[in-house]
Structure 1
């Protein structure tokens, strides 16, 4: 056991600088690779792998509608059993997207309907913007009102507090406009100086 341990230590020892290290001459013999053994069960020989399916290959496009960004359509991709909703844009980063857009564009000459948002969609967009603007206005009113409440407001702060309160009132009156939600005159956002 002691001899084996000593042999291992000598074999793994790193030579110190100046030690003579014996180099082995390069081998001139080629390593022989044994020939492939025949399979014991030829019926289990690996079959040829199927070629990968192009996930972007398609066979049909239908229900084309022109929208602001391009064309909304339904595309039947070869690897799917059903149609998928697809937005085809002219500046799509993928080649298949640009190809689908070009095909929709070609079919547009035959007459493709334009998309017009419903009243509910107009209303939802208007309410979403109004909510965001009201949150912003309330935050600004709170900021300037706090300065007034602790008697630390400058004349500019008092002016901005009044301007943001007027803006918030104008936002709350938007639903009373004649063309709402199709035509909206949005109030002007008060100028806030950089703090």
Structure 2
């Protein structure tokens, strides 16, 4: 089993990475593989609703790591999204990244566990946390929880490590994710996957 962790911070080994690494420490203890994919600090385009992804299953834009993330997520068993908090929201580039990633994937992440990790200096973490979780809940992905909302506080990695409760939440999150993955694996031959009905799209214009 393998988990894809996506670092949505422009800083490769900053506060968000520190939080994700603590989640990873629990996964390692349980024998779960993981990979941390950093989206980088380059330009990330927003979705332009061109519809090309409906033909290919990939985004028409190929100048960043969105399509790489889609392929890696399809091959993995669970997904962890990590973001810094910018103005009480997901970092702008990461928000654009996830819009394209989840829309282009065509629902192929369904029933894979997902969990969110947010890093902030002081405030806005719960709003960003809620925003990330909506990507999972619209995609039929079970959301993994911990012993508090999945956030850490601090301006630097060193300060994040001093957030003892936050780091504990990260470790518990990793342990809970590992447990759910093992439970799914143990029951896959005993319990059939649910059959999803064809979507009935309703536009509220009469």
Larger gyration radius, structure 1 or structure 2: 1
Q: Higher strand share goes to which structure? A: 2
Band of TM-score, shorter chain: under 0.3
Report which structure shows greater RCO (CA 8 Å, sep ≥6): 2
TM-score (norm 1): 0.20
TM-score (norm 2): 0.19
